[in-house]
Amino acid sequence: MEIQSVCEPGAKDRKVVVRGMEQKTRDWAWAYWPAVPLYPYGQRRTLRQEVVRDQVWTFDQLQGIFYVTVPIRMTVVRLESGGLLVYAPVAPTRECLQLMQELIATHGDVKYIILPTVSGLEHKVFVGPFARQFPQAQVFVAPHQWSFPVNLPLSWLGFPGDRTNRLPLDSREAPFGDEFDYALLGPIDLGLGRFAEVAFYHRRSQSLLVTDSILAVPAEPPAIVQLDPYPLLFHARDGVVDLIRDTPENRRKGWWRIALFAFYFRPSALQVTPFGRSLLSALQAPDHSRKAFFGWYPFEWQPGWERSFEALYGGGQLFVAPILQTLILNRAPQETLAWADQIAQWQFQRILPCHLDCPVVATPQQFRRAFQFLEAKSPAEQTYPLPAADFALLQELERTLSKRGITPPLPKS
């Protein structure tokens, strides 16, 4: 079996020859998946893309729940002094490490590994295993780390105790401060824990690296998602009796619905079938395999659902994820706006988020406008308003958490 890898812009074509299923399993294996049991579990593909020639690369993998699969990404930057800086590591599978070694052979060892968040388990779980593969690298983490359900020391989570450091509050004090600026958002108190994120600006390539704070949704499914199109095709169906058919239209349709699931959990155009009725309907499914969840498909999409995606996509607009708008950043609006103002002073040309579309060509002004929802007194005043109806579940969740004292109340305006 031969697999053609995605070609990097400006680079030579590269073929990866995979000899049989056993080799594929070894190259993609991720043994620690039970720590954060997200699809595709113990098998993770990796795609590398060169974003800025000989300077910046991204490594995409996949993660999701119930086939709601989205990219998770690390960024690698070449240092002018030699060596590499890694922002938000992904799973260090054999395939991922082989792709890293190709960069190391040309540009030098990994010098720094950055964990730019405090609460994102899907990012934190990879740092310890990744760091063990590069024993010469210093690890720098965002301040105010915590873990759930028990707040454990980082060394207990696999971080190398003798070379794990907290990022200085002033980026000029970091050993890579001559090449990067960074700005810390938070920590924002969420009751059960805290939210924080560190955005990095690489001056030479004029690239902004962010984790979860800002996103853009592509109209077409990302390349990493298309390596195995089954999740796309699973969600492209309109009913339990529909056959899974692999067409470009169905891949796109499935991706649009996955994006709505990922951001709203239950968008307004989605009707969830009651559990008992959905189990009876599963008897009519053409596929009762485990892969097809034994025929279970408890969703009914209402006519016009595409309008919700079109508002989310907005021609490739930058936006803050609805869950951050509703449950997190609105707990510290002034602190968040000050952070956005600081970043908007940097002269970046592109944004590299850890999820969804990448790279996103954007100006500092466009970045700042994405946080305008914190200043608007009504949805009508927002620059890029998302449909209020799609926020219904998140707003209900916010009210419930606040009422029960799990999360702090919203600050008074």
For 138-185, write each residue's pLDDT tens digit: 999 999 888 776 777 788 888 998 999 999 999 999 999 999 999 999
Residue type, position 80, single letter: E
What pLDDT does 55 receive? Answer: 97
What pLDDT does 380 receive? Answer: 54
Helix or strand or coil: residue 323? helix
140, two tokens: 């720098």
Mean pLDDT of all residues belonging to the chain:
89
Q: Which residues contact 322 (CB under 8 A, 6 or more apart)?
A: 263, 264, 386, 390, 391, 394
Q: Is the pLDDT of residue 6 over 70?
A: no
H or E stretch at 400: helix 392-403
The secondary structure of residue 54, as a DSSP letter, is: T
Residue type, position 78, single letter: R
Distance (Å, whole) CA 355 – CA 336: 20
Q: Is the pLDDT of residue 244 over 60?
A: yes
What pLDDT does 147 receive? Answer: 77
Question: pLDDT by residue (tens digit) across 355-407?
Answer: 999 999 999 999 999 999 999 765 555 555 788 888 888 888 888 888 888 88
H or E stretch at 27: helix 20-28
Q: Any idea which fold 2-216+327-369 has?
A: Metallo-beta-lactamase; Chain A (3.60.15)
Q: What is the DSSP string of 181-205?
A: EEEEEEEEE-SSSEEEEEEEEETTT
Q: Is the pLDDT of residue 13 over 70?
A: no
What pLDDT does 151 receive? Answer: 76
What pLDDT does 378 receive? Answer: 59
User: What residue spans of 62-145 are helical by DSSP H?
Assistant: 94-107, 121-132
Question: pLDDT by residue (tens digit) across 248-258?
Answer: 999 999 999 99
Question: pLDDT by residue (tens digit) across 310-322?
Answer: 999 999 999 999 9
Burial 312-342 (b: 16+ CB within 10 A, else e): bbeeebbbbbbbbbbbbbbbbbeebbebbee
Across the range 217-244, mean pLDDT stands at 94
Is the four-CA dihedral 218, 224, 229, 235 of positive or negative sign?
A: negative
pLDDT band at 17 (very low <50, low <70, confident <90, very high): very low
Query: Of 55, 52, 90, nearest to 71 (Cα)?
Result: 90
What pLDDT does 35 receive? Answer: 86
Query: Of 4, 14, 66, 63, nearest to 38 (Cα)?
Result: 63
Q: Is the pLDDT of residue 3 over 50?
A: no
Q: Is the pLDDT of residue 113 over 50?
A: yes
Q: How much of the chain, in percent, has pLDDT values that exceed 90?
A: 70
What pLDDT does 78 receive? Answer: 98
Candidate from 14-28, 290-304, 361-375 with smallest mean pLDDT: 14-28
- Boundaries of every domain in the chain: 2-216+327-369, 227-302
Question: pLDDT by residue (tens digit) across 53-82?
Answer: 999 999 999 999 999 999 999 999 999 999
| Locus of tokens 């968008």 | 267
What pLDDT does 74 receive? Answer: 97
Q: Is the pLDDT of residue 208 over 70?
A: yes
